[in-house]
Structure 1
Amino acid sequence: MSPISESVHKSSVTVSVVPRVPEGLESLRSLAFNLWWSWNYDALELFQELDPVL
C-alpha cells in the first residue's frame, strides 16, 4: 500500500462559458460584466426585476 501523498492525483479542467443574450438585450450583457451594478441600488433592482433568483 502506498502512502496517501503518492496516490493523490491532481487534475485540472478549464471550462469556458459564453452566454447567449437574446436579440434586443445585447446592451444588458455589457452591464452584466460591469461591477458598477453590484453597488448601484437602481441597477441591482433592475436585475432583480428581470430575474428574481439573482
Structure 2
Amino acid sequence: MTTLPIMIYNNPLRTGFNSQVKKLIRLVKRFPQIVAFKEAGDSTSVPIVKKN
C-alpha cells in the first residue's frame, strides 16, 4: 500500500489488455490515492470514469 498519488494508464495497444470502465470506477472508489487516469484506447470511457 502506498500513500503516493497514482495514475492509471490504459494503453491496450502496448499491453494487449483493455481496462473495463466498471473495474476502473471500482478501483478509483476503493483507492483514494488514484488521482489521474490516462486513456490511450477508447476515449469515450474518460467522461464516464471522471463522472463517477
- TM-score by shorter chain over 0.5: no
More strand by share: 2
Please give the range of the TM-score, normalised by the shorter of the 2 chains: under 0.3
TM-score normalised over the length of structure 2: 0.28
Which structure is larger by alpha-carbon Rg, 1 or 2? 1
More helix by share: 1
TM-score normalised over the length of structure 1: 0.27
